Structure 1
Amino acid sequence: MKPSKKGKGLRIQTGDLKGKLIPSPVTQEGKSNFTPAIMKKSFFDILESLQLQGRLNFTDAAFLDLFAGSGQMGIEALSRGFAEAIFLELAWDRFESLKGVLTKIPHEHSVFRKDAFRFYTGFAEARTHKVFFIDPPYSFWEKKEAKIKAMVEDIVVQESGAALIAVQSPVALDWEGFESRPFGRNVLNVRALV
């Protein structure tokens, strides 16, 4: 998603927070990789389709935004009716920025300064379904693809309530059960488990 031209930040696309500006997070070395608006729309279209089919109930689902950065995906999920969102962000400056943004969001959420590679399960146990959005920095892919894949495989095994796993990456992933959708230099890789 591109920063808003009216103000420095990202905008929520739809739901009860539609139009809300999320400040752009602090970027490391001037690099940023926001989820493009068209990719975000496509991702939430997939989730809404699952909801229409009765396979996913937003009002009893948790959205886990791993490597949260700005938190735009988790906040968008809350805006669209998810029961709660869990945000994991390890970088101190991004975590503090996200914590500040979330104090103004009137929905159930938790934000943790934790390494998503180590702490990605065990959240929102009371929820029927969980949607995982995994968007590690693109600089991780060259050396850590195997680690990202192992984390995803463990989520499939460990999280009985996992409804869908989405991985944003710079390349299409040929991982079992994943469908890839390219959007310019970004690829949305999705595996539905319901």
Structure 2
Amino acid sequence: MRIIAGTARSLPLKTVEGLDTRPTTDRIKETLFNIIQDEIPGCYFLDLFAGSGQMGLEAVSRGAQYAVFVENNKKAAACVEDNIRFTKFTKETKLYNSDVLSALRAMEGKYRFDIIFMDPPYKQEFEYDVLSYLKDSSLLKENGIIIVEASLDTAFDYLPDMGFTLKRLKTYKTNEHAFIIKNQ
């Protein structure tokens, strides 16, 4: 796993050993960043369920102004911290080592994000819990986007009831990216 493009291009990143995390493959990461490339420069990027931190670090490498990482697992959080130091993005990043909902509450009033990316454990409905929180939150900027990496059988039929719209669904062989916007 590596940074694909930008100022930290080709730098290898550490990953957490074992099956606790499921790193996004370089091919899927590249496809995602090609889709959102125009949104990245100068943006505030939130990486929830960060794992190794590769998504937020890729965003900073490509010109994001700031990235915040949230990771509850202590080994994974240590991996994020190591990757932040290795890429020399210590001034452009912040790590919360806590559960996602506690971190979101702690960030309220401190940050506003252009892009919120989450890759929660599959089939545990964490994306539903996070979206339930975000529907009444000020963390997402007015024209911001939420990107959920999910299993292929994840349903998002509840989005309209929460005040969200599924703008795009990009399907891969083993998973998908749901691009979600808040209704104005």
2:21, 2:51 within 8 Å by CA — same for their partners in 1?
Answer: no
Map 1:1-194 onto structure 2 (within 5 A). Answer: 10-27=1-18, 30-48=19-37, 51=38, 56=39, 58-59=41-42, 61-107=43-89, 108-120=92-104, 121-122=107-108, 125=111, 129-141=113-125, 144=126, 146-155=128-137, 158-159=138-139, 161=141, 163-171=144-152, 172=154, 173-174=156-157, 175-176=159-160, 177-178=165-166, 179-192=168-181
The alpha carbon displacement at 1:37 in A equals: 2.6
Q: Helix, strand or coil for the counterpart of 1:73? A: helix
What is the CA deviation profile of residues 23-43 of structure 1, one whole-angstrom value per residue up to 9, with x for unaligned ones? 11133xx35422133322222
What is the CA deviation profile of residues 140-170 of structure 1, one whole-angstrom value per residue up to 9, with x for unaligned ones? 23xx454243134344xx2352511100110
Q: Helix, strand or coil for the counterpart of 2:8? A: coil
TM value normalised by structure 1: 0.76
1:167–1:137 CA distance, 2 compared to 1 (3 A): same
Moved more, 158-167 or 146-155: 146-155
Where do 5+ consecutive residues of structure 1 fail to align?
A: 1-9
The alpha carbon displacement at 1:19 in A equals: 0.8
1:39, 1:188 within 8 Å by CA — same for their partners in 2?
Answer: no
C-alpha root-mean-square deviation of aligned residues, in Å? 2.4
Structure 1: which 4+ aligned runs deviate by more than 3 Å? none
What one-letter code is carried by the residue in structure 2 that aligns with 1:122? E
Q: Helix, strand or coil for the counterpart of 1:138? A: coil
2:118, 2:127 within 8 Å by CA — same for their partners in 1?
Answer: no
Question: Number of matched residues?
Answer: 170
Identical columns (%): 24
1:12–1:123 CA distance, 2 compared to 1 (3 A): farther
What is the CA deviation profile of residues 67-94 of structure 1, one whole-angstrom value per residue up to 9, with x for unaligned ones? 1001110010011000111011111111
2:123, 2:151 within 8 Å by CA — same for their partners in 1?
Answer: no
1:40–1:160 CA distance, 2 compared to 1 (3 A): closer
What one-letter code is carried by the residue in structure 2 that aligns with 1:41? E
CA distance in 2, matches of 1:123, 1:66: 18
2:11, 2:87 within 8 Å by CA — same for their partners in 1?
Answer: no
